[in-house]
């Protein structure tokens, strides 16, 4: 099998950066034509180049000879040991796979399109899906869950992050839904999820809610529960400052690892004691309050990396990392801290990724997390 290659370039116009990446990827054999393997191209660009995504894709396709590409736009992108935030940058990878193990997922923006796609899969046996989603589509979470369940695939990926265009790549540029690639279960992979928040109190049960409004916890006031966990009341001067970094964690039912989905705390009504949350809540949901914490996030990232190292049992031949735009330099001290930690634990290997508006792991959308996928 061919070697996996990756490329990165920053601080130039799209043509300069695309040429630099193409030169770094030089020497790739064209896939197809009876070969026993095919090569998937993965491309991420910062949103400074969102309007040039199609041109960059066309240039790399012509120079590498690779037909199949996936990718998207992020405010930050990354590669082995390096992050690029808020500057023009491109990262790309050419990932060899066994012939017949790859199926591109076109742009899917609604349930009917998803059914059409999954009905046509035929003999393909997906194991892993690398998926990119549009944060502007209210159906994105349902489409992610639907694709995972319909194909029995473990999905990884993230939602595009941009201050302009939200392009995705599925052989061509698309937007508005989910897209990516499904990879046969015979391809060995290992994936891990790391959280960026730490609990500040115990789990409680939702006993009253109206969609995104949390009205009652354990039969009492949600605001009073929050005050108890913070050790502050709304009348205290420090309360509004302390609550700025507080989020609501929704525990994942049936998880044996204490997994949870972090959602924003979007409002407090002192008169009713109700809280507004950035997701729908139902009676019986288990929730807890948590806070963004760089020290706890670093500990959990180390935990995930050590777990992956043991599960992999060998040096990875490639990796893809999908992290939250609120992580990176916005959470950790210094540039490229997450990427440095990956290298410290797992060694140096080809890796690309981006920082998105949400992360995809298995069949759910997460926030403030990092999802690392290793190809073995």
Q: What is the reported pLDDT for 33?
A: 46
Q: Where a domain ends, among 263, 291, 319? A: 291
Whether 171 and 227 map to the same domain: the answer is: no
**CATH code of the domain in which 259 resides:** 2.40.30
Domain extent at residue 264: 197-291
d(CA 152, CA 143): 14
d(CA 360, CA 168): 15
Q: What is the pLDDT of residues 315-362, one digit of tens each?
A: 999 999 999 999 999 999 878 999 999 999 999 999 999 999 999 999
Whether 96 and 188 map to the same domain: the answer is: yes
Q: At what angle do helices 111-119 and 140-151 cross, to 10 degrees?
A: 20
Whether 277 and 306 map to the same domain: the answer is: no
- Strand 359-362 with 173-174, pairing: unpaired
Report which DSSP code applies to 122: T
Whether 55 and 155 map to the same domain: the answer is: yes
Whether 282 and 310 map to the same domain: the answer is: no
Whether 64 and 149 map to the same domain: the answer is: yes
Q: Are 259 and 193 in contact (CB under 8 A)?
A: yes
In the sheet with 318-324, reading across from the earlier edge strand, the strands are 82-85, 76-79, 351-356, 318-324, 370-375, 189-194
Q: What tokens appear for 260 in the block?
A: 């949870």
Whether 256 and 365 map to the same domain: the answer is: no
Whether 249 and 357 map to the same domain: the answer is: no
CA 160, chain centre distance (Å): 9
Whether 21 and 85 map to the same domain: the answer is: yes
Intervals of the chain under pLDDT 50: 28-33
Q: What is the number of domains present in the chain?
A: 2
Q: Where a domain ends, among 262, 291, 320? A: 291
Whether 161 and 202 map to the same domain: the answer is: no
Q: What is the pLDDT of residues 169-196, one digit of tens each?
A: 999 999 999 999 999 999 999 999 999 9
Q: Which residues pair with 204 in a beta bridge?
A: 287
Q: Where a domain ends, among 269, 291, 313? A: 291
Whether 77 and 65 map to the same domain: the answer is: yes
């Amino acid at each position: 099998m061919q070697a996996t290659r990756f490329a990165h370039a920053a601080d130039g116009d799209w043509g300069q950066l695309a040429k630099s990446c193409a030169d770094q990827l030089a020497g790739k054999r064209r896939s197809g034509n009876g070969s026993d393997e095919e090569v998937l191209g993965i491309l991420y660009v910062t949103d400074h180049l969102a309007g040039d995504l199609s041109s960059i894709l066309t240039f790399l396709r012509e120079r590498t000879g690779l037909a199949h590409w996936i990718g998207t736009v992020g405010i930050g992108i990354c590669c082995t040991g390096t992050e690029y935030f808020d500057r023009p940058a491109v990262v790309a990878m050419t990932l060899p796979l066994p012939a017949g193990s790859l199926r591109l997922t076109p742009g899917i923006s609604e349930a009917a399109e998803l059914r059409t796609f999954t009905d046509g899969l035929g003999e393909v046996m997906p194991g892993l899906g690398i998926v990119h989603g549009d944060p502007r589509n209210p159906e994105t979470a349902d489409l992610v869950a639907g694709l995972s369940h319909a194909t029995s695939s473990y999905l990884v990926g993230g939602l595009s992050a941009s201050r302009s265009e939200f392009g995705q790549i599925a052989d061509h540029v698309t937007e508005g839904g989910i897209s990516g690639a499904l990879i046969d279960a015979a391809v060995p992979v290992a994936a891990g999820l790391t959280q960026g928040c730490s609990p500040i109190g115990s789990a409680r049960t939702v006993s009253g809610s109206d969609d995104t409004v949390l009205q009652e916890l354990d039969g009492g006031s949600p605001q009073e529960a929050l005050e108890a966990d913070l050790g502050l009341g709304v009348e205290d001067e420090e309360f509004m400052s302390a609550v700025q970094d507080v989020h609501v964690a929704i525990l994942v039912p049936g998880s044996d690892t204490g997994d949870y989905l972090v959602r924003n705390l979007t409002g407090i009504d002192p008169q009713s004691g109700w809280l507004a949350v950035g997701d729908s809540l139902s009676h019986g949901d288990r929730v807890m309050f948590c806070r963004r914490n760089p020290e706890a996030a670093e500990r959990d990232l180390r935990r995930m990396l050590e777990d992956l190292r043991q599960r992999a049992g060998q040096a990875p031949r490639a990796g893809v990392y999908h992290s939250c735009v609120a992580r990176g330099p916005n959470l950790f001290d210094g540039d490229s801290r997450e990427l440095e930690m990956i290298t410290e634990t797992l060694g140096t290997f080809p890796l690309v990724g981006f920082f998105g508006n949400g992360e995809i792991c298995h069949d759910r959308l997460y926030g403030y997390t990092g999802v690392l996928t290793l190809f073995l």
